[in-house]
Amino acid sequence: MTASTAGHAALNKVSKPMRPPRKIWRWSNLPLVSYLQAMPLALILGLFLLLPILTIGMVSFWDYDSVRIYPDFVTFNYTETLGSWVTWKIYLNTFKFTLIVWLLTLFIGFWVAYFLAFHIRSVTMQMVLFLVCTVPFLTSNIIRMISWVPFLGRNGLINSSLIELGIVPKPIEFLLFSEFAVVLAMVHLYTLFMVTPIFNTLMRIDRSLIEAARDAGASGFQILTNVIIPLAKPGIAIGSIFVVTLVMGDFITVRFMSGGQSASVGLMMANQISLLQYPAAAANAVILLIVVLLIVAAILRVVDIRKEL
Amino acid sequence: MHSEKRSREFYILAFFFTLFVLFLYGPLSTIFILSFQGPSGGLTFPMNGASLHWFSNLFEQQAVGDFGGSFRRSMILGLMTTTITVVVSLLAGLAFRRRFKGSTFLFYLAISSLVVPSILISLGIGLFFQVLGIRPAWWSSGLGAHLTWTLPFGVLIMFAVFNRFSPVYEEAARDLGANAWQTFRYVVLPMIAPSLIGVGLFGFTLSYDEFARTLMAAGTFNTLPLEIYGMTTNVTTPVLYALGTVTSAFSFLIIIIALTAIIIVGRRRARIG
């Protein structure tokens, strides 16, 4: 994406006068410094991410009874999990949630980001509205889930107004504690993960490209599908990774919003954990991790995220 | 799009955006209103009078579990997480300015820390501590679990900041005779200070509200979100909403303080030039 067109502003921004790097000896040029600077991050992630995941892998081959777990090498944690039709059904259910929530958050997230990036003219206003969208992300997920109760409950706002208006004779039961409620809460919680990366990529689209497309006779719809969406793909990919992994591993939203009437992989694991069946939960965790990583790898084939930051 | 007259597309999208904002804030504002429910009021409308009954109920120890203790723990944990996140992210951001052996691996490790489902981190840390024979506690395993969530955000923010950071300022400083520390302290640090406050804000709020990763890593004593979660299963009075209002108000306060700090730091820099 070169700024060869008339975009003077873009040109100024892109090519800051860069002097060729001078080779002067400085202690800060030693690779050792980089290693020292990266060390704390590597240590923390090694200790609290890498080793725990390896532990899960190890424990998934352990044996257990109702009280404790034993070091061993057994594979029945896997064969039992994979051999049970319940597992497959739960995975199917989880994929269903993932697909629905992904489509909804993508649709909402794209149009919100598009509105902010292309229709709000002042940068200050853009930032203010973006913050308005961001702030709920920084508050408690559980509180945000609880806050649906007065809306969706049997005597909640929606039901009482529907009855008052004479649209339904008695309260609709499926609003709260249902799969509908799960999807609603997930969209509520996770849309922001879509808005932010898409907004970020849309903001970096060179406006002269859109003008050029317009001058070449493209309609608004053609500009959207041939210019904007292709350039927004990296943001869409990053947002999709967030949403897909969050929904795939979710257990709290499913538990709370479905009132125990629906299942997900995360919830299945959480139940095994509460029954102290750690090796079974660990085998489930390994399977879930592989599935999630495969999805992420598939999305990453579309875009190299390191280039996009 | 750039024409002076607002297009029809603008009004449709503006309407859509307004609905989205209502969707984001509507539920939160209802529990805010309902937390002022009268003493005989229930979990839904109508309001049976207005009172501060449920707020005072919140501070009676026996009524709703250990609200004060869990708040204190979440507060300390949040501050610990914030400090470590800011320092470690800054150092990692500086390190990533150059390619070093293993930098790609470390970067993807940080990304995977976001991508790995939270329940896996929780289970993993719980099992890891169990296998090692160490008792999990909120200030050790809990802190680690929170860092796996806050550090990737911090690292990504710093990564983005330094990607756009022109080295000419540092070169100018060095040409003027500043040593490496002076260059960092008086040139680089002031320029990235707003971003660091942003990292701190993320660090604190994400830690303060974190639930899924803490579940198995917190040990005996609950953090505030765990306490709230426990309440959802056995508390059926508006005291739940009062708690929601108080913690959300606290979150908003932190956000406002951080944003004010960012604006002040930015203004001061602009004035100095």
* CB-nearest partner of B13 from A111, A141, A160: A111
Contact A194, A239 (CB under 8 A): yes
**Mean pLDDT of all residues belonging to chain B:** 85
Taking only the tens place, the pLDDT of each residue in A157-207 is: 787 788 888 777 777 777 778 889 999 999 999 999 999 999 988 988 888
At residue A142, the pLDDT reads 87
Instruction: Delimit the domains of chain A by residue range.
Output: 84-308
Report CB contact under 8 Å: A270, B119.
Answer: yes
Quick check: A10 pLDDT over 50?
no
Spell out which residues of chain B touch residue A51, defining contact as CB-CB under 8 Å: 124, 128
Quick check: A13 pLDDT over 80?
no
A-B contacts (CB, under 8 Å): 273
Contact B157, B89 (CB under 8 A): yes
Domains (range + CATH), chain B: 66-234 (1.10.3720.10)
At residue A9, the pLDDT reads 41
Name the DSSP class of A20. Answer: P
Angle, alpha carbons B160-B162-B164 (nearest 5°): 75
Q: Which of A121, A139, A254 to mutate to test the interface with B (most CBs of B within 10 A)?
A: A139
Spell out which residues of chain A touch residue B42, defining contact as CB-CB under 8 Å: 155
* CB-nearest partner of A52 from B42, B125, B241: B125
> Å from A85 to nearest chain B CA?
22
* Range A261-267 average pLDDT: 87
At residue B147, the pLDDT reads 95
Query: Given pLDDT bands bounded at 50, 70 and 90, which one contains residue A306?
Result: low
Taking only the tens place, the pLDDT of each residue in A267-285 is: 999 888 888 888 999 999 9
> Å from B54 to nearest chain A CA?
16
Secondary structure of residue A262 in the 3-state scheme = coil
Q: Which CATH superfamily is domain A84-308 in?
A: MetI-like (1.10.3720.10)
Look-up of token digits 């609709």: A172
Tell me the β-bridge partners of A70: A63
Contacts of A124 (CB under 8 A, 6+ apart): none
| A27 touching chain B per CB within 8 A | yes
Window 152-211 of A, Cβ < 8 Å to B? 153, 155-157, 160, 188, 191, 207, 210-211
At residue A161, the pLDDT reads 80
Secondary structure of residue A64 in the 3-state scheme = strand
The Cα A44–Cα B147 span in angstroms is 8
The Cα B90–Cα A141 span in angstroms is 28
At residue A15, the pLDDT reads 44
- Mind giving me the DSSP string for chain B? --SSSPPHHHHHHHHHHHHHHHHHHHHHHHHHHHTTB-TT--SSSSP-SB-SHHHHHHTSTTTSS-HHHHHHHHHHHHHHHHHHHHHHHHHHHHHTTS--TTHHHHHHHHHHHHHS-HHHHHHHHHHHHHHHTPPPBTTTHHHHHHHHHHHHHHHHHHHHHHHT--THHHHHHHHTT--HHHHIIIIIHHHHHHHHHHHHHHHHHHHHH--TTTTTTSBTSPPHHHHHHHHHHH--STHHHHHHHHHHHHHHHHHHHHHHHHHHHHHHHHHH-
Secondary structure of residue A36 in the 3-state scheme = helix
Taking only the tens place, the pLDDT of each residue in B161-189 is: 888 888 888 888 888 988 888 888 888 88
What DSSP element (H or E) covers A88? helix A85-114
pTM of the shown model: 0.85
* CB-nearest partner of B147 from A42, A48, A191: A48
Quick check: B26 pLDDT over 80?
yes
ipTM for the predicted complex: 0.86
At residue A20, the pLDDT reads 53
Which chain B residue is nearest to residue A116, measuring alpha carbons? B17
Segment of A209-213, B78-82, B102-106 carrying the highest mean pLDDT: B78-82
The Cα B45–Cα B209 span in angstroms is 27
Higher local confidence (pLDDT), A287 or A261: A287
Query: Given pLDDT bands bounded at 50, 70 and 90, which one contains residue A12?
Result: very low
